[in-house]
Amino acid sequence: MKHFLLFQLYGAMSAWGDIAVGEERPSAIHPGRSAILGLLAAAVGIRRDEEDKHLALEHGYGMAVRMESSGTFLKDYHTTQVAPQVALKKHPAVTRRDELMALSSYQKQNQKISGTILSNRAYRCDALYQIVLWERQETSFPLAFLADRLNYPRFVLYLGRKSCPLSLPLQAHVVEAETLVEAYDQTKFISLKSFLKQIGAHKVGLSSDQTISLFWDEDEGVASGVQARETFIRRDKIFSRSRWQFEERRECHAVCQQQEG
């Protein structure tokens, strides 16, 4: 038997970064490895410059994502003002207000500089995911500790972008099972429909996928309990957090039966 940590992610909007070129900022249909490990780091209280701790998370855990609903696609034409690095050298910015003041000061001497960046940003609306983690080696953060931190995080958690807050509790807990499929069968989540009904939002219409997709790290140390239909190569394995560098990993995919509830 093996221990698994489970938690769910749901939000009115989410964004799971994919390879971005130029002005396009796409979103994958489900969270990748770097996104989930970043969520863990925020929950535990690991700061962005603590490289060794981020790499410890990368090497310490395997991951699976059960996509209950992929939600609906939304694309936003996004404009933002960003101060160039030369302006920030003269006026170091700690807050967003500092950054805008640095830009304003720089524009007085360089009137042709607008500082405006245009982009098309993709989001998933009303998407629901159930995440599973397991230990690949001895770690500094046992699964039970991670469950507690996810339910009571150190830093604010969000779904890919800061504009995408959580809409429901993660309900993190640890179960014991032989395979990933058995772990999901033992989940103790309050279903999304039941939760919405409890808070008086039962009239909210949610999209529902006809099939449930399971994605998981190719890992000899854990049995999936289901035959992989295909394998993808994704570049979201953390190599260096400080330099934003990622390596390739193999991600298996299978289709599971829809759960009632």
- pLDDT digits over 155-178, tens only? 999 999 999 999 989 999 999 999
User: Which amino acid belongs to residue 154?
Assistant: R
Q: Where in the chain is the domain with CATH 3.30.70.2660?
A: 2-72+127-256
- Exposure string over 175-189, b if 16+ CB within 10 A, otherwise e: bebeebbbbbeebeb
Q: Per-residue pLDDT for 33 more than 50?
A: yes
Tell me the β-bridge partners of 77.
120
pLDDT at 72: 92
Overall size of the chain counted in residues? 261
Residue from 193, 218, 215 nearest 206 by CA: 193
Q: Per-residue pLDDT for 15 more than 50?
A: yes
Q: Per-residue pLDDT for 260 more than 60?
A: no
- Topology of domain 2-72+127-256 in CATH is Alpha-Beta Plaits (3.30.70)
Q: What is the pTM of this model?
A: 0.84
